[in-house]
Each structure stands twice: as structure tokens, then as C-alpha cells.
Amino acid sequence: MNKRRVVVTGVGAVTPLGNDAETTWKGIIEGKSGVGPLTRLNADEYPAKVAAEVKDFNAETFIDKKDARKMDRFTHYAVASALMAVKDANLTINEENSHRVGVWIGSGIGGMETFENQFEMFQKRGYKRVSPFFVPMMIPDMATGQVSITLGARGFNSCTVTACATGTNSIGDAFKVIQRGDADVMVTGGAEAPITRMAVAGFCANTALSTNPDPKTASRPFDKNRDGFVIGEGAGIVILEELEHALSRGAKIYAEIVGYGATGDAYHITAPAPGGEGGARAMKMAIEDAGLSPEDIDYINAHGTSTEYNDKFETMAVKNVFGEHSYKVAMSSTKSMTGHLLGAAGAVEAIITVRAIQESILPPTMNYETPDPECDLDYVVNEARPKEINVAMSNSLGFGGHNATIVFKKYQ
């Protein structure tokens, strides 16, 4: 079967580094940190004192005030990012093409803040005071729902919930929708607003979050002294488009998406499989899907959460897949600057990866001070580096044993 080619023609983001994709990308290349003191909650109540919060974001810049009140924050971020991505792609969605434009946006935990606020209301005042919008504000698929309503996109419509692999799975699955001919354009990515009382309590309870009180060094992937991830929030949306469709309207092309792999560890609810076995299979699958060999990969945007097991096992997985080439391939974790955006992480990292290809520059892993003998690859430490990047991959690994990898190629 002749596979249709798929390219990235637009990007949009709301992140701890800035409320658009360009500011976010600039911050990444400059090694800026989006991590700061935890302000959304009372930090005295938690062992984790820092977070990567979205700053100065006003939903009403993008959404009518009345409509915004009927959405959780994760949906605000998704709608804003989608509108920016569509604008960036210079894409017009109308009666003629709307049924060929799909939406696939995931969220790891959806409207947790809405759930907490409404449950409090229910406990104090009974069911009659619960908002009629409670359920549609809370469910994770509502980012997709509201984006498709806002854009008038009536094509293939879905939502992925695979914890921290969500954003990458969403983009990979949307890529396959276009490749097999079920849509010409997909608006895809992930959105998350998890800096809430219960979400932070839950991550603190399972000791996943860093308790380092210094915002500058709390997220330190691959560093020997890493002690957990820094929770972040925001959204990333990319416009994927069938190549001929993009060319026919003169769209600018960031990169081509060429491979996707997704596997399950079948091992443990939160810990990755020993040696990153499942992650290694996802990478192999994505490289094979792209019709490439491991030696073709120039850069890996790592999952790199700054947790003990993830960084060690992801490093082992890369060695398993790449062999000798693992010491030549550049690899970095941009979570050192954005924190971990859970279901939105893979989507924001996909944007960073295509920009890296476009600009021929390797994003850095910041806050790296003390080498870990078990993490001994080229992590592009502490500053960005110019390099011609022809092929790059982005990894995401999630609770539940979900592994996802996507491969991008310079468009030629």
C-alpha cells in the first residue's frame, strides 16, 4: 500500500516558558527555566515546593467570556493552542473541507480542578448546587470537543488518555489517520492543568515529585542528584497535513512525520519495565515504521523526567536500540526547563523537536551538574548546540506502562 506522506504545517503552545510556541522555543534554546515557586496552591501543605506554572494567561484573549466559564483550564490551554496553530498554518476550515479536518487531543487527567471545586460544592450545599457543566468540563475528551466546535472541524475526532505518553500517542495516532486516508488535516496534541490540590497530593504521596525547593535545579534530568519530576501545565498543538494538500495551498512545512511506535510494558502501574524494555520496542517500531535505521537518527528528545528510574532505564533503552551509535546520537530532556506537563508533555516536545530540525540546533538539558555513571550518553548539557538535524525522534513513557515514540524528518 502506498502510504500518504504527512507534514507539520502549524504549531501552537501555552507553556510555563510562554503563552505561544515561538516564546517557548526561544526560551528552550536560551536555556531558560519555566520552573518557579508553587503559587497555585499553598506550598506549606506539600513536600514539593516548586512547579512549572503557566503565567499571565488570559483565556478571554481566545475564548468568549461566557464560554470560557464552561471550560476547565486544560481546555482553555487546548483551545488557545489550537487557534494559534491553525493561524500559524494559515489554514482555513470551511463548509467545503471541514469533514476532512479532524481533531485528536489528549489529556492525562482532564478537569481535575473542576472535579475538586464541584465536589467541595456538593459536600457543602448538596447536588442542586453542582454545575450542570460539571461533567462536560471535567471529562478529558472535552479539549477535543471544544476545539472541534471552535474550529468547525467535523472530521475524525478522538481523545487519548495514556498518562505521560498521551501527547505523543495523540500525534502518532493522528498521523496514522491521515496516512491511511481518513482525513487530510489533523489538529492534534495534548493539554493538561494538573497543578491542583489532589493531583499534587497524589504525586507527592507516591514520591514522584522533586522535593528540591530550588526552582533553578529541581528538574535535573540524567543528573546523579535528581530526585523526582517538577509538575507543569499547558498545551501543545500541531497541525498535521497530507503532503499534497499542504503543497496545493502553499503551506510552510516545519518537518515531515515519518514514524510512530507504541508499546505496553505489561509490568507495573507506575515503574517502567527494567532496562526500559518497552520503551526500546517503541523506538525500534517507530524507526522501522519510518523505513530508517537507528544510525539515521541525529537527535532524541528524551522523556527524561528527572526521576531515578526513568532516566536510567531510558538511557539503557537507547543503548539497546542504538548500540554503538547511542554515543553519537544527541539526546536532551527539555523537561529540565518546562517541567513535566504530563499529557501535554509529548505534544510540546514534538513542537520543540520539529523546531530543532528546522533551525539546526540541539536543545539543551539544563541543570546538569553531577554525572551519573549509569547515564553516560550525550545529553547536550547546559547549552544549546548547533547541529544539522535530518532525523529526530521524541519519546514519551507513561504510568500504566505506555510507551510512545514519533520520528520526524527534515522535509525534502
Residues assigned a catalytic role: 164
Residue labelled with grid coordinates 504525586 = 203
Task: Give the helix ranges, DSSP H, for 185-304.
Answer: 197-205, 243-248, 277-289
Judge whether 208 and 307 are in contact, CB under 8 Å: yes
Judge whether 244 and 63 are in contact, CB under 8 Å: no
Judge whether 367 and 306 are in contact, CB under 8 Å: no
- The H or E element spanning position 237 is strand 234-242
**Alpha-carbon span 108 to 301, nearest angstrom:** 20
**Alpha-carbon span 40 to 197, nearest angstrom:** 9
Judge whether 331 and 378 are in contact, CB under 8 Å: yes
**Alpha-carbon span 368 to 31, nearest angstrom:** 12
**Alpha-carbon span 29 to 247, nearest angstrom:** 29
Judge whether 221 and 306 are in contact, CB under 8 Å: yes
DSSP letter assigned to residue 133: T
DSSP 116-127: HHHHHHHHHH-G
Task: Name the nearest CA neighbour of 357 among 391, 327, 331.
Answer: 391
Kindly state the cell numbers that stand for 90. 494559515
**Alpha-carbon span 337 to 31, nearest angstrom:** 7
Task: Read off φ and ψ for residue 372, nearest 5 degrees.
Answer: -105, 120
Judge whether 392 and 298 are in contact, CB under 8 Å: yes
Kindly state the cell numbers that stand for 357. 530540525
Residue 306 burial (10 A CB sphere; 0-12, 13-18, 19+) = buried
The CA-atom distances, in angstroms, between 300 and each of 202, 354, 392 are 30, 11, 6
Strands (DSSP E) contained in 289-345 are 299-301, 330-332
The three-point CA angle 168-58-73 to 5° equals 45
